[in-house]
């Protein structure tokens, strides 16, 4: 038995599974778009648009470290198309909330990613 616990799910299939699963975990009205990272087969690009008048958009890179563990990097936050300072308490709370939803999604897909 191999000690490698590498992700073996095709990236496009994984992106589709995330596209089905993540929106169920977001707040009502928030929208998510998941794309395969063309440069890295173990990474997904996640774009989340918040509901309501905030007009906030968050971009994350979700990389599978192995078949179960993910590493999440925030790559951009925009409001109305302009980059915003993500260091404010309000933004940090939102980012933490979305990171939790991303971890929940990865957990929900364990059956799929961990063979």
Q: Full-prediction pTM beyond 0.95?
A: no
Instruction: Please spell the DSSP secondary structure of 12-42, one letter per residue.
Output: HHHHHHHHHHHHHHSPTT-EEEEEE-TT-TT
For the chain, 115 residues long, give each residue's pLDDT as a single digit of tens. 344 688 888 999 999 999 999 999 998 899 999 999 999 999 999 999 998 878 899 999 999 999 889 999 999 999 998 999 999 999 999 999 999 999 999 999 999 888 6
Cα 114 to the center of its chain, rounded Å = 18
**Predicted local confidence at residue 51, as pLDDT:** 87
- Residue range 11-108 forms a domain whose CATH class is alpha beta
């Amino acid at each position: 038995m191999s000690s490698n616990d590498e992700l073996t799910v095709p990236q496009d299939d994984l992106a589709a599974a995330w596209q089905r699963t993540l929106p169920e975990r977001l707040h009502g009205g928030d929208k998510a778009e998941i794309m395969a990272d063309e440069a890295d087969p173990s990474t997904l690009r996640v774009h989340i648009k918040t509901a309501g008048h905030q007009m906030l958009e968050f971009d994350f890179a979700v990389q599978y470290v192995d078949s179960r563990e993910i590493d999440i990097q925030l790559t951009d936050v925009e409001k109305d198309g302009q980059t915003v300072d993500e260091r404010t308490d309000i933004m940090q709370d939102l980012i933490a909330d979305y990171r939790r939803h991303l971890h929940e999604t990865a957990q929900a897909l364990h059956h799929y990613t961990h063979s």
